[in-house]
Amino acid sequence: MGFFSKGRLGRKLVGAAGVTAIGGGGFAYVVYQRRLKENKSCPAETFNAAQNQEQLQHAFKNLLAKDTTQRPDIQLYRYTTCPFCGTVKALLDIYHVEHNCVEVEPMFKGEIKAMSYKKVPQLRFNAKGSDDKNGTMLVDSDIIVDTLAPLLGVGDQLKDENIKQWRAWARNQLVRFLVLDINYSLVEAWKAYNYIDSFDTIPWANKVFLKVMGAPVMYMVAQKFTRPKLVRSGDLKEGEDVRVRLHQEVTKYVNEALVDPKTKKSRTFHGGVKPDLADIDAYGVLQSIRGHRVYDEIIGATQIKPWLDAMDKAAGRAPYVVGNASS
Ligand SMILES: N[C@@H](CCC(=O)N[C@@H](CS)C(=O)NCC(=O)O)C(=O)O
């Protein structure tokens, strides 16, 4: 018999712990619902339409201007661990579009406080050298990729059915399996917030608050919303191991997307010798967990590493070293 089952004090402590857990869970649920409502209050399309379109078109026109002084200053507001932000970052990196990243603190989101749109990614375009806060914005990763792709010369890929299918896979199934694996248990959900410790811009009190509040919320979201979604879509059967299923999904990319359908030979990228938007979305989503246990386990359990290395190279990054979170 354990310590807590002994005597009155033990029973009281167990009772108190139970009430705290239920209360904590309830609180997390209320916080989550409030946040959902706030996040829905301004749709991306409405926010984008309210921007200064003339300024935005000017920035687009000069995105890759030969005279680099004419190019806009670009800032990507993101969470490092947001898979949708990862797709935008990957697109900018692969096409060598210069930009800075602004890490948004995920609890209070102070960096985007002034914005009526409450999610990340958000892309800000400033005239070169002008004040940070005066730029025009473009938000939502789908919209950002759809808008920038034609400017980068790959607009035709937006209509390619096979590319569309893999992009949808990356943004739905792959994202959901990653969320479930990262938030496998309450302890794992807590550990997923360790990345925040490396950002000096975020006060320590926020870091603590984030772990205490954010981890239970993310665990609850994963179990109550993400898991049932995967079960409903038939991607996860009751009782199946989430980790095994995640690795199977990644293997599906290796065996199907990275094989030429005509010659049946494996190819470096889905796009052939160059990454296409399918590669960019899949890679971008996976970068949200770079350095995490889940990333290393995917590399250990599948044949994805050569593609990851090739994508790193195309994105201008050094190849990832397993077990070295900072690589
Ligand atoms: N459809 C949006 C989804 C973006 C999204 O859901 N971002 C999450 C982070 S992964 C977010 O900002 N959630 C709001 C929050 O953290 O309050 C996109 O593709 O950009």
Domain membership of residue 140 (yes or no) is yes
pLDDT score recorded for residue 43: 97
Inform me whether the pLDDT recorded for 209 exceeds 90.
Answer: no
Instruction: Answer yes or no: are the C-beta atoms of 149 and 90 closer than 8 Å.
Output: no
Inform me whether the pLDDT recorded for 21 exceeds 90.
Answer: no
Q: From the alpha carbon of 139, which atom of ligand 1 is closest?
A: 20
Task: CATH number of the domain at 210, please.
Answer: 1.20.1050.10
35 and 51 belong to one structural domain: no
| H/E element, 100 | strand 100-103
Instruction: Answer yes or no: are the C-beta atoms of 315 and 94 closer than 8 Å.
Output: yes
Task: CATH number of the domain at 71, please.
Answer: 3.40.30.10
Looking at residues 284-295, what average pLDDT do you find?
Answer: 96
**Can you say whether the dihedral through the CA atoms of 149, 154, 156, 160 is positive or negative?**
negative
Q: How far apart are CA 171 and CA 23, in angstroms?
A: 33
Q: How far apart are CA 252 and CA 257, in angstroms?
A: 7
Of 2 and 308, the structure prediction assigns the larger pLDDT to: 308
SS3 content of the chain, % helix, strand, coil (to 5): 60, 5, 30
135 and 164 belong to one structural domain: no
Pocket test for ligand 1, best of 31, 111, 120 (most atoms within 8 A of CB): 120
241 and 259 belong to one structural domain: yes
Lowest-pLDDT range, 214-218, 239-243, 272-276, 321-325? 321-325
Span 222-245, pLDDT tens digits: 999 999 999 999 999 989 999 999
The single-letter code of the amino acid at 69 is T
30 and 64 belong to one structural domain: no
Beta strands at 73-78 and 100-103: parallel, antiparallel or unpaired: parallel
pLDDT score recorded for residue 2: 42
How many angstroms separate the Cα of 139 from the Cα of each of 144, 189, 280, 311?
A: 6, 27, 18, 25
Tell me how far apart the terminal alpha carbons of the chain are, to the nearest angstrom. Answer: 47
Domain membership of residue 261 (yes or no) is yes
**Which is nearest to 125 in space by CA: 155, 97, 95?**
97
Looking at residues 100-129, what average pLDDT do you find?
Answer: 93
Q: How far apart are CA 239 and CA 147, in angstroms?
A: 41
pLDDT score recorded for residue 119: 98
133 and 254 belong to one structural domain: no
Environment class of 164 (CB within 10 Å of its CB; exposed 0-12, middle 13-18, buried 19+): middle
Domain membership of residue 216 (yes or no) is yes
How many angstroms separate the Cα of 140 from the Cα of each of 121, 146, 207, 311?
A: 6, 10, 26, 23
Looking at residues 111-116, what average pLDDT do you find?
Answer: 94
135 token code pair: 């730029």
229 and 297 belong to one structural domain: yes
Question: Residue 89 C-alpha to ligand 1 middle, in angstroms?
Answer: 14
pLDDT band at 3 (very low <50, low <70, confident <90, very high): very low
121 and 28 belong to one structural domain: no
Domain finish residue from 155, 174, 206: 155
Alpha helices (H) in 192-292, listed in sequence order: 204-209, 215-221, 227-232, 242-252, 277-287
Total number of domains constituting the chain? 3
pLDDT score recorded for residue 18: 57
Angle between helices 175-182 and 242-252 (to 10 degrees): 150
Domain membership of residue 324 (yes or no) is no
Question: Residue 224 C-alpha to ligand 1 middle, in angstroms?
Answer: 18
Q: How far apart are CA 17 and CA 214, in angstroms?
A: 19
Span 242-282, pLDDT tens digits: 999 999 999 999 999 999 999 999 999 999 999 999 999 99
Domain membership of residue 320 (yes or no) is no
Span 85-109, pLDDT tens digits: 999 999 999 999 999 999 999 988 9
178 and 301 belong to one structural domain: yes
Q: Look up the domain containing 23 and give its range.
A: 3-40
- Ligand 1 neighbour 276 (Cβ under 6 A): no
Question: Residue 119 C-alpha to ligand 1 middle, in angstroms?
Answer: 5
Domain membership of residue 319 (yes or no) is no
Q: From the alpha carbon of 288, which atom of ligand 1 is closest?
A: 10
Concatenate the DSSP letters of all residues of 126-152 into one string. E-TTS-GGG-EEEE-HHHHHHHHHHHT
Span 143-188, pLDDT tens digits: 999 999 999 999 999 999 999 999 999 999 999 999 999 999 999 9
pTM: predicted TM-score of the whole model, two decimal places: 0.91
- Ligand 1 neighbour 78 (Cβ under 6 A): no
For 284-300, give one letter per residue: b (16+ CB within 10 A) or e.
bbbbbbbbbbbbbbbbe
217 and 305 belong to one structural domain: yes
33 and 51 belong to one structural domain: no
Inform me whether the pLDDT recorded for 1 exceeds 50.
Answer: no
Domain membership of residue 260 (yes or no) is yes
Residue with tokens 């979305």: 281
Domain finish residue from 100, 130, 155: 155
- Ligand 1 neighbour 73 (Cβ under 6 A): no
282 and 202 belong to one structural domain: yes
194 token code pair: 């360790």
100 and 177 belong to one structural domain: no
For 29-64, give one letter per residue: b (16+ CB within 10 A) or e.
eebbeeeeeeeeebebeebbeeeeeebbeebbebbb
Of 134 and 185, the structure prediction assigns the larger pLDDT to: 185
Inform me whether the pLDDT recorded for 5 exceeds 70.
Answer: no
